[in-house]
Amino acid sequence: MRAINERTVLDYIREMGSTSRAQIARGTGLSKPTVSQALLALHRGRLVREAGKSSGGKGPAAVLYELNPRAGWVAGIDVGRQWVRAAIADLNGNVVSRRDERSRIKGADALISQMADLAHALAAEAGIRWRQVTVATVGSPGVFQPSSGQVSLAHNLPGWGRRGLVEALQAELRTEITFENDVNLSTVGEQWRGLGKDVSNFVFLHVGTGVGMGIVLNRELYRGSGGNAGEIAYLPLATADPHDPDNLRRGALESAVVANGIVDVARRVGMKAPRTPKAVFSAARKGDASALKVVEQVAERIALSVAAVVSVVDPELVILGGGVGRNGDLLLEPVRRELASLSPFQPRIEISALGEEAALNGAVATALQAAQDRLFVRTG
């Protein structure tokens, strides 16, 4: 019971920030003596510290307590085909060092070595030893399978699906590692510091070199029975005409809406080179008729994927992210318009507030949760 009470107090302080014994007692329903005992134990374990005294109220000033940010450190690492992004943060989530590097995608070994080098360089930059990092959370495309230590469906990272990937990374980093899908981490990032912060039910739709969706239900990330929830790349959406070259019934949604799909559409409508997503959206902003046709088709396909999901999940909010999805100035209005024509369900649709930082924010947030759990067990 004592450990449960201490955990209750710690969770309350973590959520509320600097707070007093009386506030903790009111917020948790615990008695003041129980709160005092819990705070004493947490203070001895260096998980909380005094943060000054309250002011402005009647009676004597109360001692305030806060999470001790230097009780441990966490690392977040976001691995993609283009970039490896990494950061080290204290237990309050304050980033003390971070870097972005072009990914070395020759194979899994090259990426693992790059991640280890980057992690140790960040620790040195932060003025700490890497062994002081309690937990590192790694995000990447694909679905992590704990039983085999493998990542499946990570087609954009050569060799990333090999057996024992996590063990190999752990041997390099030599700290506790948690692994998570990068789109799920972007969703957690939006929930922590973005548009999903005060939303109970929302989805994050990533459209870039790949497509995927993170789902939050009742404020909890939903992974499904096998961790595959949100893998909407495999939605078999069909056009009206089964002979249409854009028919999606036999292919993945991903082939239609991601970067390569945009290039294919640009080619068919007669756009001149260079045919890249960036060039297409740039031309559309300048009023190019062919580019605007491409944008319209991309928006229609995004709306199809949203329509398929909202009728099942019923989210309050849909957040668009990823290199393609972030082109809100061009995509937002046609996506909303097309969704209105497809479905009676009309959630709010917005563009990610965190942009390319969403997954790294989610990695840090996930590492913080795991680190605080581990530190509590260690000192409890």
User: What confidence tens digit (pLDDT) does each residue in 164-211 have?
Assistant: 788 888 888 888 899 899 999 999 999 999 999 999 999 999 998 788
Helix 2-16 to helix 358-379 angle, to the nearest 10 degrees?
150
Nearest to 309 by CA among 218, 193, 208, 201: 201
**pLDDT at 380 exceeding the cut of 60:** no
What are the structure tokens assigned to 103, written together? 């990914």
Q: pLDDT exceeding 90 applies to what percent of the chain?
A: 55
Query: How many angstroms separate the CA atoms of 147 and 361, rounded?
Result: 27
Torsions phi, psi for 318 (to 5 deg): -115, 120
From residue 230, how far is each of 53, 112, 234, 364 by CA, in Å?
46, 26, 10, 21
Query: How many angstroms separate the CA atoms of 302 and 324, rounded?
Result: 10
**pLDDT at 55 exceeding the cut of 80:** no
Q: Mean pLDDT in the chain?
A: 88
- pLDDT category, 379, cuts 50, 70, 90? low
Across the chain, which distance is largest between two alpha carbons, in Å? Answer: 79
User: Which range is most confident: 49-53, 74-78, 102-106, 148-152?
Assistant: 74-78
Instruction: Report CA torsion sign: 340, 338, 200, 355.
Output: negative
**pLDDT at 239 exceeding the cut of 90:** no
- pLDDT category, 23, cuts 50, 70, 90? very high
Mean pLDDT of 275-298: 92
pLDDT-wise least confident of 19-23, 54-58, 182-186, 352-356: 54-58
Q: Which residues of 3-21 are buried (b: 16+ CB within 10 A; e: fewer)?
A: eebbbbbbebbbeeeebbb
Mean pLDDT of 85-105: 94
Scan for tokens 């029975």, then name that residue. Answer: 225
Whole-number pLDDT of residue 56:
61
Instruction: Report CA torsion sign: 372, 141, 172, 105.
Output: negative
Query: How many angstroms separate the CA atoms of 256 and 92, rounded?
Result: 41
- pLDDT category, 59, cuts 50, 70, 90? low
* Structural domains of the chain in order of their starting residue, each with its CATH number: 2-67 (1.10.10.10), 73-187+358-379 (3.30.420.40), 195-353 (3.30.420.40)
- DSSP, collapsed to helix, strand or coil, labels residue 20 as strand
Nearest to 139 by CA among 332, 370, 344, 367: 367
